[in-house]
Amino acid sequence: MTEQQTDMEVVAGPHQHFSYEQDALLARLRRIEGQVRGVQRMVEEGRYCLDIVTQIQAITAAADKVSQQVLEEHIRGCVTDAIKDQRGDEAISELMTVLGRAIRR
């Protein structure tokens, strides 16, 4: 494991490129980034609290959608490959750790 690799990257093996449109994913992330900047402005301007909370909920929903897309691709690609390469138990354990954290949120 190198300094920049996480434990999960070592288990998963070599990084696989996303098969879905990376440009579309990056566009979603930029949109979320814009929403966050908008909320920062709202706070600076002293806007109504519930309007801010509503915007934060929209950001969370958008981030959840991105996470779902990346997770689906991980399962279809990385986990499937790990199972074929006899590393399925490790990949499933890694996946369950991430899902466990998501569920506790």
Please report the domains of the chain, with CATH numbers, ordered by start residue.
20-104 (1.20.58.1000)
Q: Give the global pTM.
A: 0.74
Least trusted range by pLDDT, from 12-16, 19-23, 44-48, 90-94: 12-16
Residue 18 DSSP symbol: P
CA distance 95 to 75: 8
Angle of helix 88-104 versus helix 49-74 axis, rounded to 10 = 170
Helix H or strand E segment including 66:
helix 49-74
Q: What is the pLDDT of residue 1?
A: 44
CA distance 68 to 99: 11
More confident residue, 88 or 104: 88
CA distance 104 to 102: 6
- Please, which pLDDT band fits residue 64 given cuts at 50, 70 and 90? very high
Q: Is residue 59 within 8 Å of residue 36, measured between CB atoms?
A: yes
Which of 77, 91, 75, 71 is CA-nearest to residue 25? Answer: 71
Whether the pLDDT of residue 53 is over 50: the answer is yes
User: What tens digit of pLDDT does each residue of 27-42 get?
Assistant: 999 999 999 999 999 9
